[in-house]
Amino acid sequence: MPANDIGRLLRGTAAGDRRSFAELYDETSPYVFGILLRMLADREQAEEVAQEVYLQAWRTAGSFDERRGSGWTWLAMMARSRALDRIRADRSYGRALDRLEAEPATAVDENPGPDPDRETVLGNRGERARAALNALPEEQSQALRLAFFGGLTHREIAERTGIPLGTVKTRIRTALTKLRDALA
Partner 1 sequence: MNDERFLELLQESLLSGLPPEEEKALAEELERRGPAGQRFRRELEETLGGLALDARAVAPPDHLRARVLAATEGPAGQPSVIPLPRGRPWLPWAAAGIAAALALFLGVSNLRLRDRADRLAAEAQEARERLAEADSAAVRLADLQSDFDLLSGPGSSVHALAGTGPAPGARARVFLDPLTGRALLFAYDLPLLQPDDVYELWAIRDGTPRAAGTFRAGAEGRARLEIADRALLKDVEALAVTVEPAPGTEAPTGDMVLISSL
The site map against partner 1 for 112-131 (x = CB under 8 A) is xxx-------xx-xx-xxx-
Distance CA 159, CA 164 (A): 8
Residues 5-64 that bind partner 1 (CB under 8 A): 14-18, 21-22, 25-26, 29-31, 33-35, 37-39, 44, 46-48, 50-52, 54-55, 58-59, 61-62
Distance CA 36, CA 84 (A): 9
| Identity of the residue, 69 or 162, whose beta carbon is nearer to partner 1 in the bound complex | 69
Distance CA 48, CA 65 (A): 26
Residues 72-101 that bind partner 1 (CB under 8 A): 72-73, 76-77, 79-80
Task: Note whether 50 and 29 are within 8 A (CB).
Answer: yes
Phi, psi of 15 (to 5 degrees): -85, 0
Q: Is residue 135 a contact point for partner 1 (CB under 8 A)?
A: no
CB 94 → partner 1: shortest distance, Å?
17
Q: Residue from 5, 101, 167, 176 that binds partner 1 (CB under 8 A)? A: 176
